[in-house]
Amino acid sequence: MFRSYGGISAGRTENGAVAPFDLAARLDALVAIDAPAAKAYRPAAACARPAARGIRPAVFRGHPKHCPVCRRQSGHFLSFGLVRRRNAVCPGCGSLERHRFLWLYLEKALRLPGRRLSILHVAPETCIRERLVALPNLRYAGVDLYRPDAPLSMDVTRLALPDASIDLVICSHVLEHVERDRLALGEFARVLRPGGRAIIIVPLDPRRATLEDAEARTAAQRLAAFGHPYHVRICGADYGDRIAEAGFSVCRVDAGALSGHRRRYFRLNKASLFDSRRG
Ligand SMILES: [Zn+2]
């Protein structure tokens, strides 16, 4: 089952008891991220002595921004998006807001760097994949049906992997493109070991219920119906229930739970992720 409160959701068992994995502890790990205090965001010009203003490197004009994926700091990130978002792309590794949120969660909340895990990374984003494959404690498999440079070509609705062979599935911005997403969720549940996790990110509109329209088949129809030519649905507030139906206990974690200065420092938007544990 799936339940929301205050922008954060906690997994519930069928009889209503709180699922036995501790959302609060993991959220504490995120909130405790050692971003600098708010006073560090004073404009650079206000901090600089007059004699030094003229020689400050241009890259440090404005508030500092830090990419947790490549650990570089910059004064400005790059713009991105159909509706352009300023300071969206890290100039070092190309990460977007959702990639930085995902990596913070993997590193700080799941403590990935210190654990021995088998990971299935669906449609791997280059910036995240490079960090994961560099960790010697992980057994990593990246799968993608369309990218020729992906390590394995695999349909997410028919994973050619043994049952209960994976500890962690990472699947970000994929399921909104998959018509039979329930099949894909069932496959994640099948290949995960009991207690394994699927970290799932979809573009989420929490103000509405999930919207699908079988009549929307062409790119133009899908653009009109879902706001994107290659999306097959709008994922709404109930999308966690769909994940839970596949056999997961689901927590929704919102980047909005972080403080404003941390979101500015890491350049995060209102992304959410579903931390989904296989029962
Ligand atoms: Zn970066």
| Ligand 1 centroid, distance to 268 Cα (angstroms) | 13
| Ligand 1 centroid, distance to 81 Cα (angstroms) | 17
| Ligand 1 centroid, distance to 100 Cα (angstroms) | 8
Q: What is the mean pLDDT of residues 190-213?
A: 96
For 115-126, what is each residue's pLDDT tens digit? 899 999 999 999
> For residue 25, what pLDDT is reported?
58
Question: Is 47 a residue whose pLDDT tops 70?
Answer: no
Question: Is 49 a residue whose pLDDT tops 70?
Answer: no
| Ligand 1 centroid, distance to 102 Cα (angstroms) | 13
Question: Is 222 a residue whose pLDDT tops 60?
Answer: yes
| Ligand 1 centroid, distance to 108 Cα (angstroms) | 16
> For residue 235, what pLDDT is reported?
97
| Ligand 1 centroid, distance to 77 Cα (angstroms) | 9
| Ligand 1 centroid, distance to 131 Cα (angstroms) | 11
> For residue 104, what pLDDT is reported?
95
Tokens 């998006």: give the residue: 81
**Domain 17-278 falls in which CATH fold?**
Rossmann fold (3.40.50)
Question: Is 6 a residue whose pLDDT tops 60?
Answer: no
> For residue 200, what pLDDT is reported?
98
Pull the structure tokens for residue 153. 């070509």
Q: State what percent of residues in the chain have pLDDT above 70.
A: 77
Q: Which amino acid is at 62?
A: G
Q: What is the mean pLDDT of residues 8-17?
A: 37
| Ligand 1 centroid, distance to 89 Cα (angstroms) | 8
| Ligand 1 centroid, distance to 269 Cα (angstroms) | 16
Question: Is 31 a residue whose pLDDT tops 70?
Answer: no
> For residue 152, what pLDDT is reported?
82
| Ligand 1 centroid, distance to 197 Cα (angstroms) | 25
Q: What is the Cα–Cα distance from 252 to 264, expressed in whole angstroms?
A: 21
| Ligand 1 centroid, distance to 259 Cα (angstroms) | 21
Q: What is the mean pLDDT of residues 84-92?
A: 93
Contacts with 150 (C-beta within 8 Å, 6 or more apart), sequence order: 123, 124, 142, 143, 144
Domain boundaries along the sequence of the chain: 17-278
| Ligand 1 centroid, distance to 58 Cα (angstroms) | 18
Pull the structure tokens for residue 213. 């329209």
Question: Is 34 a residue whose pLDDT tops 80?
Answer: no
Strands 65-67 and 72-74: antiparallel
Mean pLDDT (the chain) is 82
Higher-confidence position of 89 and 63: 89
Pull the structure tokens for residue 87. 């300071």
Question: Is 148 a residue whose pLDDT tops 60?
Answer: yes
